[in-house]
Amino acid sequence: MAGVPYDIIKQTENYYQNVAHLIFSMLGLGCRSEVKIADGRIDTLVETKNFVYCFEFKINKTADEALAQIDTKEYLLPWTGSGKKLFKVGVNFDSEKRNIGEWKYTTA
């Protein structure tokens, strides 16, 4: 993302979410964005035969805040019991650097 010219980057969370969605899709991963569940919307969900990755994106915040939202809203609850390994991924985009500032993951 650092190679994208600064004047075409929008400083919004949705812009970076869109870029991530396109990357996952181009890699052929089962990717969905704005996945509605009982208590909110998952920014991006990548699901494979054996794994589910729940991504929450923030801009100019922290990866910990993103992970906390996944927990608070229980985003992975619908996949509990699916037999798949569940991952929570918090990503913070740094608008000044125009790139990922920090990311963390945990398993559910």
Which pLDDT belongs to residue 56? 98
Which pLDDT belongs to residue 1? 63
The secondary structure of 9-33, three-state, reads CCCCHHHHHHHHHHHHHHCCCEEEE
Class of domain 6-107: alpha beta
Which pLDDT belongs to residue 28? 93
Which pLDDT belongs to residue 51? 97
**pLDDT averages per 10-residue partition of the chain, 108 residues:** 73 86 92 94 96 97 98 97 97 90 96
Domain boundaries, the chain: 6-107
Q: Which residue, among 22, 21, 28, 39, has the nearest Cα to 75 in the 3D structure?
A: 39
Which pLDDT belongs to residue 99? 87
Which pLDDT belongs to residue 108? 85
Torsion angles phi and psi, residue 99, rounded to 5: -160, 180
Which pLDDT belongs to residue 55? 98
Q: What angle do CA 100, 45, 29 make, to 5 degrees?
A: 90
